[in-house]
Chains A and B, each alone.
Chain A
């Protein structure tokens, strides 16, 4: 059976290619969930593809209003209306001749217009006119016969203000798509859920649905899109170690981070996570790689200024297309959109190193914080598969002290490597310390070292002596002239 793509971004992905030609589908949702826009958007897409489409309303909603609202949508093309998209109201037919009359009217319209795609908006009205549940099922069966004989695909829109639950018509149709609008905290979230789809696998579960003047866009949950790792996967190709260009730190790592691995940098606010990230990207650029910085807090201009203070040459790298900066405000948004954008940039720009600054900011984009771990895991796997060496920074809540609380469950077990940045307060002086908690499958120096942020870049002490003195309370006065990076 041929497939009928809906043209709704993301929907064909979760339907694994679209609807089936000649299939009968139900799209259900409470008022305001986007059914009518969905139905119209598909009609305009099909019409642009050369289909003859009919939009039949069974509701007391006027076409005048419907068209007035559609005019604001980017997909609305008036030249298609009355030719490739035909709006008819069947309410009166239903009122005067019942379900039999409606079925005859649909059949006549499909035949007369040689229609290949039909939307029936307001299935609830048809049900109201059904003398019995049996008659309603007969009507659905009648529509299936029409679609089967003509190859016309039928999408029925139905509002679910009535009590949800098992509906006999659900067993009959080829697919059931549910639209919903729920309030989580103060945020309203729209979702789509494919409850049933005959003949094809689908991306199960809820996916975010956005409505804008461009129409409907569905953001498939990114973790369902990315391939999960398989035990038969070939061993990752050997990628050169990713150094930081900071002598002391690279020595602790025995040369650098394993190429293609992911590293979580933990540390409280102001501990130097962003600086470390910029240093990491800058070192990659020196090796002719392409760096991508994704941040949620600092705007690109302020980042570049920060990089300039360290003498990292980020402006030049950016001008040469070797450095890309993304800034996503940590406001309500859809996590999947952020990840999709990042992955697209990784592929398009051939990124070799990525600094994802603020996994905690990422959480603001997560409608459901418990998803953060799954998304992080899928993203980290995908980046490894693409050979990208990634630094994820994650803010810990303790500003000063030795306790570490990892704010996102499970992230530490998913991370290949973990670096820890800390502040230590001693005699009214704040010191910065860095240590390695974990490097997967490689030896490393686990000693804690002092590090400083200077106008010549990051400097990590060669030995653990100073850190030991800080931690034991025996620190000297801070060196006025730190040893430059070699």
Chain B
């Protein structure tokens, strides 16, 4: 079964390009522009992994991940938090993500991180 990815980012450009590259790499990719819309997408469409930006309007990345973890139907989804500001990544108990990607990152780094969390089928 094709593995599916949800990319959540408010920023123009990066999300679209990442989505294209992941589609070419064989993933089934969906996009959302904030955490709230990301959750809405998960309600109707399965995802094996969520790659989310940290700072976003309406609902930010850490809050989206917290809600995923709190929902038994979603809790098993692997999560990657991406940010240009590693200092702002939640630590300790607040850190519910599986991995962090510091922007700017290469596609190779992104794929390696995805493969680590979700071995290719």
Q: Do A and B assemble together?
A: yes
Residues of chain B within 8 A (CB-CB) of A68 are 84, 104
Of B14, B33, B57, B104, most A-chain CB atoms within 10 Å? B57
B54, closest chain A residue (CB): A82
Which of B12, B57, B88 lies in contact with A82, CB distance below 8 A?
A: B88
- Rounded to whole angstroms, the CA-CA distance of A420 and B14 in the bound complex is 70
Judge whether A88 and B87 touch: CB under 8 Å: no
**Chain B residue with Cβ nearest A94:** B12
Cα separation A83 to B104 with both chains bound (whole Å) = 21
The reply to whether the CB of A62 lies closer than 8 angstroms to some CB of chain B is: yes
Residue-wise, chain A 75-111 has the 8 Å CB interface mask toward B (1 for contact) of 0001101110011111111011000000001001100
Roughly how many angstroms separate A79 CA and B88 CA in the complex, as a whole number?
A: 7
Residues of A within 8 A of B10 (CB): 88-90, 92-93
Asked if A239 CB lies within 8 Å of chain B CBs, one says no
Q: With the chains together, A93 CA to B33 CA distance in Å?
A: 8
Q: How far is the CA of A83 from the CA of B85 in the complex (A)?
A: 12
CA distance A57 to B16 in the complex (A): 17
Q: Please determine whether A89 and B12 come into contact, CB atoms closer than 8 angstroms.
A: yes
Instruction: Give the secondary structure class of A's interface.
Output: helix
CB <8 Å contact, A87 and B55: yes
A89 to B16, alpha carbons, bound, how many Å? 14
Does A112 make an interface contact (CB < 8 A)?
Answer: yes
Are A89 and B11 closer than 8 Å at their CB atoms? Answer: yes
A86 touches B87 (CB 8 A): no
Decide if B58 touches A108 in the complex (CB within 8 Å): yes
Distance A216 CA – B55 CA, assembled complex (angstroms): 26
A60 on interface, CB distance cutoff 8 Å: yes
Check if A371 is an interface residue, CB within 8 A of chain B. no
Please give, as numbers and ranges, the residues of chain B lying within 8 Å of A60 by CB-CB distance: 12-13
With a cutoff of 8 Å between Cβ atoms, the chain A residues found around residue B84 in the complex are: 63-64, 66-68
B42 within 8 A of A: no
CB distance from A87 to the nearest CB of B (A): 5
Contact of A109 among B14, B54, B57, B85 (CB under 8 A): B57
- Cβ contacts under 8 Å, B115 to chain A: none
B window 6-65: CB within 8 A of A: 10-14, 33, 54-58, 60
Complex Cα spacing A64 to B104, Å: 6
Question: Which chain A residues numbered 177 to 225 have a C-beta less than 8 Å away from chain B?
Answer: none
Q: Are A79 and B87 in contact (CB under 8 A)?
A: yes
| Chain A residues within 8 Å of B87, by CB | 78-79, 81
A41-75 CB mask vs B (1 if < 8 Å, else 0) is 00000000000000000001011111110000000
B56 / chain A contacts, CB cutoff of 8 Å: 88
Q: Bound state CA distance, A90 and B33, in angstroms?
A: 9
Tell whether, in the assembled complex, residue B14 and residue A81 are in contact, meaning their CB atoms are under 8 Å apart.
no
Which of A64, A65, A91, A108 has the most chain B CB atoms closer than 10 A to its own CB? A64
B104 to chain A, nearest CB (A): 5
B66 close to chain A: CB less than 8 A: no
| In the complex, chain B residues whose CB is within 8 Å of the CB of A88 | 10, 55-57
Q: CA of A82 to CA of B56 in the docked complex: distance in angstroms?
A: 9
Convert B64-100 into 0s and 1s, putting 1 for each residue whose CB lies closer than 8 angstroms to a CB of A.
0000000000000000000111011000000000000
Are A81 and B103 CB-contacts (below 8 A) given A62-B14, A63-B55, A89-B12? no
Chain A nearest CB from B109 CB (Å) reads 14
* Least distance between A333 CB and chain B CB atoms (Å): 36
- Asked if A81 and B13 sit within 8 Å, CB to CB, the answer is no
Q: In the complex, A245→B2 CA distance in Å?
A: 96
Q: Is the CB of A63 within 8 A of B11?
A: yes
CB-nearest residue of chain B to A57: B11
Min CB distance, B47 to chain A, in Å?
19
Partner of A78, one of B54, B57, B58, B85: B85
Q: Residues of A with Cβ closer than 8 Å to B?
A: 60, 62-68, 78-79, 81-83, 86-93, 95-96, 105, 108-109, 112
- Pairs of residues from A and B, 3 with the lowest C-beta to C-beta distance, nearest first: A82-B88, A78-B87, A64-B103
Chain B residues with CB under 8 Å of chain A are 10-14, 33, 54-58, 60, 83-85, 87-88, 103-104
Interchain residue pairs with CB less than 8 A apart (15): A62-B13, A63-B11, A63-B84, A64-B84, A64-B103, A65-B104, A78-B87, A82-B54, A82-B60, A90-B10, A90-B57, A92-B11, A105-B58, A108-B58, A109-B57
